[in-house]
């Protein structure tokens, strides 16, 4: 009885974080879930709850969704997922995590300290970001950073950044959830945990969205960079 309650509280917090920033639910959920349930159950459970988060956020941000920004990311992610599942798994995940974590920390500190001016990025970079996110995500379940970096480099409003991230993660979540279901990773026990925790993750997302509405645009980017630093540190030490 205690385990479902703990799982629900974890997803309440995870939903709040992603509702506020547009990403980061897995950053919160996976380490905490691994303390109460098997990590092999935590990953597909996190994906199922991400369907709730990204569906709600995409509907909430639908006025700011731009297919020209989201589709290239999604298209490039598909071959990235395929290659990540085959090639990148041959490379030491420790090396990849350390390199990616170091990149996130350096980029975020640079952005916080020097405050570089955003610029209009060529669409070519959206394909690079989508491909990298798909490949890294398939290799070791941490594919968000390349897309997050790409969106923050652009001269976009905070609503556009959050909507683009939500649309892209929505596509990825449904794709990965389908793969999990086909491969039998989503068991009856996991689905029962999902049914219990889904209302909590939705509540957390709603509360996070309310908080997001009160964040000034310049403060929003600072919050994103702060979370990227935390993500980078966690990648290095885990």
* Span 65-83, average pLDDT: 89
What are the boundaries of each domain within the chain?
Answer: 2-237
pLDDT at position 197:
96
pLDDT at position 207:
96
pLDDT at position 54:
93
Please provide the DSSP assignment of the chain as one string: -HHHHHHHHHHHHHHHHHHHHSS-HHHHHHHHHTTTS-HHHHHHHHHHHHHHHHHHHHHHTGGG--HHHHHHHHHHHHHHHHHHHHTGGGS-HHHHHHHHHHHHHHHHHHHHHH-PPPB---THHHHHHHHHHHHHHHHHS--HHHHHHHHHHB---HHHHHHHHHHHHHHHHHHHHHHHHHTT-S-HHHHHHHHHHHHHHHHHHHHHHHHHTTS-HHHHHHHHHHHHHHHHHHHHH-
* Span 55-60, average pLDDT: 94
pLDDT at position 85:
65
Query: pLDDT, tens digit, for every residue of 103-134?
Result: 888 888 887 887 667 677 778 889 999 998 88
* Span 134-138, average pLDDT: 75
Average pLDDT, the chain: 85
Confidence grade of residue 208 (pLDDT, cut at 50, 70, 90): very high
As given in the structure block, the two tokens for residue 144 are 């968000």
Percent of the chain with pLDDT over 70: 91
User: Which is more confident, 39 or 106?
Assistant: 106
Q: Answer yes or no: are the C-beta atoms of 225 and 111 closer than 8 Å.
A: yes
pLDDT at position 1:
66
Dist CA 124 CA 3 (whole Å): 46
Query: pLDDT, tens digit, for every residue of 209-226?
Result: 999 988 888 788 888 888
- 154 — phi, psi (to 5°)? -80, 155
- 18 — phi, psi (to 5°)? -75, -30
Q: How far from the centroid of its chain's Cα atoms is residue 145's Cα?
A: 8
Q: Is the pLDDT reported for residue 56 higher than 70?
A: yes
Q: Answer yes or no: are the C-beta atoms of 215 and 27 closer than 8 Å.
A: no
User: Which is more confident, 202 or 142?
Assistant: 202
pLDDT at position 181:
85
* Span 88-104, average pLDDT: 73
């Amino acid at each position: 009885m205690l385990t479902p309650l703990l799982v629900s509280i974890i997803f309440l917090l995870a939903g709040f974080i992603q509702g506020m920033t547009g990403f980061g639910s897995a950053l919160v959920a996976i380490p905490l879930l691994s303390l109460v349930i098997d990590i092999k159950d935590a990953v597909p459970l996190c994906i199922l709850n991400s369907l709730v988060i990204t569906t709600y956020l995409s509907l909430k941000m639908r006025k700011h969704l731009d297919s020209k920004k989201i589709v290239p990311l999604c298209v490039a992610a598909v071959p990235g997922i395929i290659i990540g599942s085959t090639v990148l798994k041959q490379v030491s995940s420790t090396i990849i995590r350390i390199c990616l974590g170091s990149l996130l920390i350096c980029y975020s500190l640079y952005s916080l300290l020097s405050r570089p001016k955003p610029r209009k990025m060529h669409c070519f970079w959206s394909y690079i970001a989508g491909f990298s996110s798909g490949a890294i995500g398939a290799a070791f379940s941490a594919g968000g950073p390349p897309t997050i970096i790409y969106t923050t480099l652009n001269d976009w409003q905070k609503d556009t950044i959050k909507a683009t991230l939500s649309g892209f993660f929505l596509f990825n979540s449904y794709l990965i959830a389908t793969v999990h279901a086909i491969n039998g990773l989503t068991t009856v026990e996991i689905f029962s945990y999902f049914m219990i925790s889904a209302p909590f993750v939705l509540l957390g997302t709603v509360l996070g969205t309310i908080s997001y509405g009160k964040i000034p645009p310049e403060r929003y980017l600072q919050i994103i960079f702060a979370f990227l630093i935390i993500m980078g540190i966690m990648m290095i030490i885990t």
